[in-house]
Structure 1
Amino acid sequence: MVMIGKLLRFGRRQLHTIISREIIKPVNPTPSHLNTYNLSESDLHADRAYVPLILFYPNNAGGNLTAQDKASVLKKSLSQSLTKYHHFAGRLPTPTTPYIYCNDEGVVFLEARSDSRLDEFQLSSAQDGNLENLFADNMVCFNSPHNPNLVGVQLNHFACGGVGLAVSMSHLVGDGCTLGSFMNQWASVARYGSPEHKEVLPLNPHFIHVPRTNSPLPEAPVMNQQLLSTHVMRKFVFPNSKLGDLKKVVADDTINPTRVEVLTSLLYRTAVAAATANSGCFKPSSLFMMADIRKNFVDKLPQTTVGNLLSLMIVPTRRESETSLSMLVAEIKKQKLLMREIQSVQQSVENSKLLMRNLGIEDFEHLVKGSYASTSLCGFPFNKVDFGWGKPMAKALAFRSVHRNGFLLMDTPDDDGIEAHVMLKNEDMEIFQNDKELLSFCQVYM
């Protein structure tokens, strides 16, 4: 264990100290026939970015367990879990190699101590970017060729005794569903003591073995901090009762929207209206959505299937009249119906390629300048991640570093609503956060 005297300053008063750093390796070596993990074509098309999730647990969780006890449990169970998720502990031989060498080099695990209380931190973190400092080795943006780790963990101890467990997973090895499955498998190993326990076995990963491709990985893009500084993130909470009212606004005999469909439509419509108000005229725009397709295949895949099993949906709005809630919901449903025809990973990749090819140069220009990316993690099992000291009181994604214009939807901790994390240009957010229609369905925002 290495002691590190690094201090991270939060705001004007809060200090965060990195107190230890370790490399956690699989408890058992990876068998020789599993020494390479070929990335699928779908993985190769994933963003060269991390999926940065943090789970917060209060001081009263864990009974008499000390901070040191919790860290020991996490490290031991992580080592055990990596025998199943062996590629998480591997490395890319080069930044563009289309496979992972499963050499058991391990996962970085940092511990940090904060002088702030967990409740104080949560109140301030949504707007000022503090979340990014809770993740190991700045693993919140794009993959860096200087950081060989595919997965990183940082356990943050707050002054009140609460903890924040931050996990960063490279998008190359999986999507949000993969991360949710891993977190629950790891947590179950911690609770039951072994990945071979009968309660844990159903949570073990399912792999699709694919042949090695000759296509190299694209180089990771560089985060443009100047662009990032022009945007701001806010969190809005929509209780299920209000979402029920919102659904009634657009529901009819032909359209029965889900919570996610109707909320995504409202957020997109409000964001486009804010941009229109600032520019003085409507500009064609597009809504990008990624959807899990594990259940689409002929032989339905379990949710524990590892990889990027997503399909891209694009909802274009070329005229202002196309931003009505009913039209947006109808178009989202239309895109979902088309997705049901996708029954293999290869078909999903070809579908995404076809979508991009069908966009003309003019459409592509509008796509880049006026697009909004929407990601939903609703229904994913993050609220159930229990390492033996209870379920998390809150969770968050370091969303500010992942997208510019966009929305991230997550279930509230009590599963009685949806948290919408919204990233927009500063001037657009000023109008967006004061929209009367939006606020009539929103319980609180920060």
Structure 2
Amino acid sequence: MEMIGKPIQSQPIISRDIIKPANPTPSHLNTYNLSDIDVSVEKIYLPMLLLYPNNDSCSLTSQEKATVLKNSLSQSLTKYYHFAGRLPTHTTPYVDCNDEGVVFLEAQNNSKLDDLQLSSAQDGNIDNLFPDDMVCYKSPRNTNLVGVQLNHFACGGVGLAVSMSHLVGDGCTLGSFVNHWASVACYGSTDHKEVLPLNPHFIHVPRTNSLLSKAPVMNAVGSTRVMRKFVFPNSKLSDLKKVVASSINDNPTWVEVLTSLLYKTALAAATTNSGCFMSSYLFLPVNTRSKLAEKLPQTTVGNVGSLILVPTTQTSEASLSKLVGEIKKQKLQFEGVQSVQQATENYKLAQSILGNDQDLETLSKRSYVCSSLCGYPFNKVDFGWGKPMATVIAFRSSYTNAFVLMDTPNGDGIQSHVILENQDMEIFQNDKELLSFCQLN
């Protein structure tokens, strides 16, 4: 478990700009329809923070870096044109691609990068590094789809915060966007041969009859949840995989075994606190771009995926072997899915479990979501001054327990941000089996 650094103090905003596409959006693209999955996802922002140390090999000043970022963002928005648009109302199921632009703030911070307390981003200590409170649930009335804040630190390093509305994309979309933007910054044009393969791919969908909810329904449930970061090195993950593989006669992935370990440990903590076992659900979002019969490129924009639902109705189903086996079984149903529409139906079917449960408080305690961003190129985003020293997803959930998995910056393992009720976390973070596979600091 990792707990480092100091809370970030408030910082002055030194500039505020609106970055518009370098070229006007063509009239035939003035409306971007949201898909059925887009309108059904949580109405939150996906906030990502990329931290870059002062690189001696880079001769650019802080102001020159900002200029590069703004110019390349403007060019990138000609491809990601709907990111510069607005939702006409808080319930409209489409984006008005009116080129109003993306807010771009610059802030001066007297802290050093080493002072950042990244292990408890859930507690809100880095919120002021993001633009206009675009951190998950904090701006439910904001109709901006994307916001950027460039934070200049006293050590000469920078923190680039990018917030994207979940309505227009998932983690894969966010990763594709920032890598496209970084490539434009490096090569100077969206038409460069190195950038062209990174251009977004759009699925044009008909206008849905569904409206966006005025607010996330589950947000009404109060909680005392906290987040902690746990790091699992490759060697430990290999050991964990061997333990599980020997009992199921299969070859599970590191993500599958780690997800199962986290969920099993969280269930045990909740059972200890409540004094009894409660039937629970594990939800795993699945990126179906590469699983469709006609595969889609990873640069496909939007929420292109489905949900795996693993119900756990009795303690015997909470063993590592049973959980891994059930996850693998559920994954097989997505192989060769014939269409995006079929994947959408699977998603809506799994999600209906949430909508049909009237006791939101009970549901919030027995629902666990694991989002894996492993394999996504967040740790390789280079705007011309090197790769980030760290990447933080300032994810937070007000209604459910969650695990967010990412590759470590150095490639040696997986880091997991775990969000649980405070009482459950006290037990979870001291679990001996869990800690035997962790990198302790």
TM-score range, shorter chain: over 0.9
**Counterpart code for 1:444:** L
Asked if the contact 1:49/1:402 (under 8 Å) is kept, the reply is no
Q: Which stretch has the larger CA shift, 48-57 or 397-406?
A: 397-406
Note the 1:1-16 alignment, pairs <5 A: 14-16=9-11
- AA in 1 matched with 2:227: M
Identity of aligned residues (%): 69
Aligned with 2:418 (options 408, 422, 444): 422
CA distance in 1, matches of 2:115, 2:368: 31
Q: Deviations over 1:293-326 (max 9, x none)?
A: 0012221100000010010111111101111000
Aligned to 2:15: 20
RMSD: 2.3
State the Cα distance separating 1:222 from its structure 2 match: 7.2
Greater alpha carbon shift after TM alignment, 211-220 vs 262-271 = 211-220
What runs of 5+ residues in structure 1 fail to find an aligned partner? 1-9
SS in structure 1 at match of 2:322: helix
CA contact (8 A) 1:143 1:220 kept: no
- 1:125-164 alignment to 2 at 5 Å? 126=121, 128-142=123-137, 144=139, 146-164=141-159
Unaligned segments of structure 2, at least 5 residues: none
Structure 2 CA distance for aligned equivalents of residues 372 and 381 of structure 1: 25
Counterpart of 2:237 in structure 1 is: 243
CA drift of 1:120 comes to 1.0
Does the C-alpha gap of structure 1 residues 243 and 11 become closer, same or farther in structure 2, counting only changes over 3 Å? closer
1:70 equivalent to 2:79? Answer: no
Identify which of 156, 165, 172 aligns with 1:170. Answer: 165
Residue of 192, 195, 204 corresponding to 2:190: 195
- Count of residues in correspondence between the two structures: 435
Code of the residue aligned with 1:153 in structure 2: it is: V
Q: Is the 8 A contact 1:55 1:165 kept in 2?
A: yes
* Cα gap change, 1:305 to 1:59, in 2 (>3 Å): same
Change in Cα spacing, 1:130 to 1:173, as seen in structure 2 (3 Å) is same
Secondary structure of 2:126's counterpart equals helix
Q: Deviations over 1:262-307 (max 9, x none)?
A: 0000000001101111111111111111010001222110000001
Distance 2:42 2:353 in 1: 21
Q: Is the 8 A contact 2:365 2:401 kept in 1?
A: no
Corresponding residue SS for 1:441: coil
The offset of 1:355, in angstroms, is 3.3
Query: Are 2:385 and 1:384 equivalent residues in the alignment?
Result: no
Q: Is the 8 A contact 2:225 2:398 kept in 1?
A: no
Cα distance 1:225–1:58, how it changes in 2: closer, same or farther (>3 A)? farther
Q: In structure 2, what is the Cα distance between the partners aligned to 1:146 and 1:441?
A: 42
Q: Give, in angstroms, the shift of residue 397 of structure 1.
A: 0.8
Mean Cα displacement is larger for which, 399-408 or 10-19? 10-19
Residue 199 of structure 2 corresponds to residue 204 of structure 1: yes
* TM superposition shift of 1:399: 1.7
So what's the TM-score if we normalise by structure 1?
0.92
Q: Do the aligned partners of 2:7 and 2:125 also contact (CA within 8 Å) in 1?
A: no
**Partner in structure 2 of residue 31 of structure 1:** 26
DSSP 3-state at the match of 2:302: coil
1:358 and 1:279, CA in 2 relative to 1: closer, same or farther beyond 3 A?
closer
Q: Structure 1 residue 358: deviation in Å?
A: 7.2
Partner of 1:114: 109
CA–CA separation in structure 1 for the residues paired with 2:374 and 2:136? 22
Between the aligned partners of 2:210 and 2:9, the Cα distance in structure 1 is: 46
Code of the aligned partner of 1:316: P
Matches within 5 A, 1:261-340: 261-340=256-335
- Aligned counterpart, 1:371: 367
- Separation (CA, whole Å) in 2 of partners of 1:283 and 1:215: 33
By how many angstroms is 1:369 displaced? Answer: 3.3
TM-score in terms of structure 2 length: 0.93
CA-CA distance at 1:128 after TM superposition: 4.2
Distance verdict in 2 for CA 1:415–1:267, change over 3 Å: same
